[in-house]
Structure 1
């Protein structure tokens, strides 16, 4: 900000009795904030913001402190030091959030595909008692249950049970009715 601009801002900030609008302050983006006497409500000053002419309307950003002042949530406007401190706080918050994201990304997730275990180079010689036998089973007196199945006695198998719904259908003419598939016809013109 040049010296002429500083003098102009100080001149506009003076609350002279013949003035209707008073400059309250500016933010770091070059926006100026004004108060003016409202003709309808003479006891209260209205607050507005005038954007920098170099900024497009879609790019205008008002800081939370100035927004609070515009909405009468905050009685005093924020100072330049407070605005600069807020920018430093935001930078520190972004840095801490980045560190937290990196810590979170370094931990394995249950949603990720599990890592494959490396396969052993050679199989063990005795795989836990499942090695093929050298002598046939008949010589040892053991018979295979697959070759000679033995039926296991159990409860007698029952024949097919009667359908309980058949009795309920009885002489009902719609007892065997089944719905048909619906196919929509052409739409009627109005």
Structure 2
């Protein structure tokens, strides 16, 4: 801020008896905040914000601290240091949120990759009793898999392969829920 602006702000912030409005402070965007005596309620001051020149009122952004001051939630206006600290806090939160988003994406990629799946158990061992048992289990699994792939009869497909398969207990398209009528609750005995 230039020295001329600083002097102007100091002059306007003096609470002289003939002044109708007093400058209370300004924000980092260049908006000024004023108090003036209410004509209806002489004991109360009204609070307003005047945007910087050539700013449309729809483009005006008021920080939460100044908004609290305007709504009489806080009695004292925020300082410049407090406003700067709030901007740094917001930047820190955005940085932490971005880091967390990247961490979630990395975790999601790690979960989705097939390389991270557990390895299959070893099929060959030096113990002859274990190898005979695993061969029997693997043969049984191969038979189950071949039966699941084979259709029941010629021209029919299994439920897993048919895209339009619908189980019998699923309601049709015209099904509507019935109305619910509450019943009195049963009291438990003492």
TM-score, length-normalised on structure 2? Answer: 0.58
Secondary structure at the aligned position of 2:108 is classed as coil
Change (3 A) 1:113 1:85: closer
Structure 1 segments unaligned to the other structure (5+ residues): 118-127, 131-190
Distance in 2, matches of 1:18 and 1:52, equals 25
What does 1:13-24 align with in structure 2 at a 5 Å threshold?
Answer: 13-24=13-24
Query: For residue 26 of structure 1, what is the aligned residue in structure 2?
Result: 26
Q: Cα distance, 1:113 vs. partner?
A: 7.0
Query: For residue 107 of structure 1, what is the aligned residue in structure 2?
Result: 107
Secondary structure at the aligned position of 1:88 is classed as helix
Structure 2 segments unaligned to the other structure (5+ residues): 118-134, 140-190
Query: For residue 9 of structure 1, what is the aligned residue in structure 2?
Result: 9
Greater share of residues in helix: 2
Distance in 2, matches of 1:76 and 1:87, equals 19
Q: Deviations over 1:22-52 (max 9, x none)?
A: 0000000000000000011111100000001
Query: For residue 39 of structure 1, what is the aligned residue in structure 2?
Result: 39
Structure 1 vs Structure 2 CA RMSD = 3.1
Q: Deviations over 1:67-97 (max 9, x none)?
A: 0000000000000111111111111111111
Structure number with bigger Rg:
1
Tell me which stretches of 4 or more aligned residues in structure 1 moved more than 4 Å.
Answer: 112-117
Distance in 2, matches of 1:114 and 1:88, equals 38
Q: Cα distance, 1:114 vs. partner?
A: 7.3
Change (3 A) 1:106 1:113: closer
Query: For residue 153 of structure 2, what is the aligned residue in structure 1?
Result: none
TM-score, length-normalised on structure 1? Answer: 0.58
Secondary structure at the aligned position of 2:91 is classed as helix
Secondary structure at the aligned position of 2:48 is classed as strand
